[in-house]
Amino acid sequence: MKRILSVLLMLCMVFGALSFAGAEGPVQLTYWADLGSTGASVMSSWDDNMAMQKLQEITGVDLVFQDVVVGQATEQFNLMIASRELPDIIEYNWSSYSGGVQKAIDDGIIIPLNDLIDQYCPNYKALFEDYPDYAKQIKTDEGIIPVFAAFSISDYNCTSGFQIRKDWLDAQGLEVPTNINEWEETLLALMDAYDLECGIAYGTGVYSDSLVGCWDIGSAYYVDNGTIKYGPIEDAYLDYLTTMKRWYDEGILDPDFAALNDNKTIQNYMINGEAAACFGAVGGLLGNIYTAVEAKGDTEFCQIGVAYPDNVNGGPHRFISMSWQYRGTGSAAITTACKNQEAACRVLDYFYGDEGRILKSFGVEGISFEYVDGVPTYTDLLLHNPDGLSMSQAMYLYVRCNSPWPGFIETGYHEQYFARQVQKDAAHAWNLNIENTKETKLPMVSLTSEESLEMATMTSLINDYRNEHVLKFIMGQEPLENYPQFVNELKSLGVERVLEIYQAAYERYLNR
C-alpha cells in the first residue's frame, strides 16, 4: 500500500507539473530574493539550492532568480521599485516598504491576493481558516492579504538571551542570578574573582527591550493594557539609566561598550575569559563560542543560557526578545508585472502543504534527512558536513528554513539546528515566560500613507536623539539630573504624536 501511495503521489506531481508546461516548455517566472551573506558564501543563486530545484521540478515552473548583490539588497530594491522594472515575484520584508505594504499595492507595485488565494491556493486558504489570528497579523486594515508569508509555528519564538559562565559560578559557589540586583552582585563577584575586563559583554543592547524590560517598560513603543507607551519617557526609565551608569562606573559594562556591536567581538570576550556574561543568539553566538572552545580542546568551559531576569517589581520579564508568528521577513509578493498569476500562486502555495513543509524545512529524503521513528531527522550532510561547511552554510544548500521564505518555521528545525544540548537548554530557558511578552509587544500594525509620511521624520529624529543621550547618560557625559529635559525634548520632537498614530493603528489592528 505504501508503494502504491508513493506511485500515486509521484503521478500527481508529474501531472501537476505537466499542467504548467506548454508546447514551448515550462512556465518561467522571474524571482527577486536576497541570498544574504551566508547564502552567498556557498551559492551563486537560489537555483543552487536543492529545495528550490525540487520545487521547480514538482510544479513544472522554472524560477529565474535575479542577482542581488550581497549587502546591497535595500539599495537594489529601491532602484527596482523606482524604475518599475519588476520581476514576477519579489521576496522582501514588505512591512518595511515606505508607506507600508498597502502603499505598495496603491502604488501599483504588488497585487492583492484575496481572490487568487480562493482560486489557486488551497493550502494558504486552509491555513487562514484554521488559524484566523495568522490572517489578522498579515492583513492590511482594509482586509487585503498582500503577501505569502513566513509564519512561525515553532515552540521557540525567542532564540536570543542572556548567557553566563556556569563553570565560574560553580567554582565560586554562586547561583544563577534571577533578577537585576542579583545580576549586579554576581557579575561584580566574578569580575573580582577572575580579574575580568568587564562583567557583561553587551554593547548596544543597552537600547534593547531585553535589558530595559527588567524595569517592566519597553525600550521604545509597547502596549500596556491597551495603551501604547514609549519607555524612555516613563519614570522607570530614569531608574534604568541610573543602574546602567553605575554598571559603567563599576566596569560591569565594558568601557567601550558603545562599540561592542558585533558577534565576533563578543564571542572573543567569552572565549578569552574577558567577560563573565553576554547576550546573544543560540546559534550565531552560543553555538559559535562552543565550536571555537572545542577546537581549542577546552573541556572545562561551560557557558549556559539563563532565563530572562524577573523585573524589579518581582514579576516575570514581559519584554523577551520574541517574534510574532508573522515577522515581515520572508514575504513573497506577486507584482503587477506578473502575467501568469496562477503559476505564481501555485508555486508559492506549495510550501504551506504537508509535502511542501517537509521540503522547505528538511529537504529531500535520503539526502538531507531521513525518517527516524517517523520523525524527519537531518543527516550528517547538514549536521556534520563532509566538506567542512557550518550547519548554517550547509542548510542554505539543501533547505529553505534558516533563511526567509514563505511557509512555516518548524519546531523540528529549531530543535535540530540547536545541535548541542546546551543550546537546546538555552532556548528552553529563554522561552519560559514568552507568553507574557505577548501582552506588551506591539503587533505588526499598518499605517496609512499619510501616517507613514508624518511618522518618517519624527521617528528618525526621536531614535537618534534617544540613542545619543542614552550613551551620554550612561557614560557620565550628561548628568542624570537632565533627564526631565531629555523627556521634554523627546516630546518636542513629536513622540506624543507618534504615540497617537500607533494607538490609532493598534485599534484598527484589533478590529481587523
| Number of neighbours of residue 304 by Cβ within 10 angstroms | 18
The bridge status of strand 407-409 relative to strand 150-152 is parallel
Cβ(465)–Cβ(341) below 8 Å = no
Please state the domain count of the chain: 2
pLDDT in tens, the chain (512 residues): 434 444 344 444 444 544 455 445 679 999 999 998 889 999 999 999 999 999 999 999 999 999 888 889 999 999 999 999 999 999 999 988 887 888 899 999 999 999 999 999 999 999 998 888 888 888 888 889 999 998 888 888 888 999 999 999 999 999 999 999 999 999 999 999 999 999 999 877 777 899 999 999 999 999 999 999 999 999 999 999 999 999 999 999 988 888 877 788 899 999 999 999 999 999 889 988 998 999 888 889 999 999 999 999 999 999 999 888 887 888 999 999 999 999 999 999 999 999 999 999 999 999 999 999 999 999 999 999 999 998 889 999 999 988 778 998 888 888 888 888 999 999 999 998 888 999 999 998 888 878 888 988 899 999 999 999 999 999 999 999 999 999 999 999 999 999 999 999 999 999 88
Residue of 271, 344, 303, 310 lying closest to 27 (CA atoms):
344
Specify the pTM. Answer: 0.83
Going from the C-alpha of 351 to that of each of 131, 319, 325, 356, the distances in angstroms are 16, 32, 16, 4
Residue of 259, 247, 241 lying closest to 191 (CA atoms):
247
- By residue range, what is the domain housing residue 467? 159-321+421-512
C-alpha cell at 243: 543602574
Q: What are the b/e assignments for 78-114, b being 16+ CB within 10 Å?
A: eebbeeeebbbbbbbbbbebebbbbbbbeeebbbbbe
| Residue 337 shares a structural domain with residue 317 | no
User: Does residue 414 form part of some domain?
Assistant: no
Q: What is the pLDDT of residue 392?
A: 86
Q: What is the pLDDT of residue 447?
A: 84
Q: What is the pLDDT of residue 322?
A: 85
Cβ(288)–Cβ(263) below 8 Å = yes
Cβ(32)–Cβ(90) below 8 Å = yes
Distance CA 244, CA 256 (A): 14
User: Does residue 8 form part of some domain?
Assistant: no
Which residues touch 85 (CB under 8 Å, ≥6 apart)?
none
Residue finishing a domain among 343, 378, 409: 409
Cβ(219)–Cβ(231) below 8 Å = yes
Distance CA 132, CA 128 (A): 5
| Residue 301 shares a structural domain with residue 348 | no
- Residue 476: which CATH number? 3.40.190.10
User: Does residue 2 form part of some domain?
Assistant: no
Q: What is the pLDDT of residue 156?
A: 83
Cβ(77)–Cβ(431) below 8 Å = no
| Residue 312 shares a structural domain with residue 436 | yes
Distance CA 213, CA 226 (A): 18
| Residue 427 shares a structural domain with residue 297 | yes
Please write down the long-range contacts of 379-384, taking CB distance under 8 Å and 24 or more positions apart: 383/416, 383/419
Q: What is the pLDDT of residue 25?
A: 65
| Residue 441 shares a structural domain with residue 478 | yes
Q: What share of the chain is helix, strand, coil (3-state, %, to 5)?
A: 50, 15, 35
Kind and range of the H or E run holding 42: none
C-alpha cell at 435: 507568553
Residue of 347, 364, 329 lying closest to 30 (CA atoms):
347
Residue finishing a domain among 350, 385, 409: 409
| Residue 37 shares a structural domain with residue 139 | yes
| Residue 434 shares a structural domain with residue 405 | no
Distance CA 368, CA 49 (A): 12
Residue finishing a domain among 386, 409, 432: 409
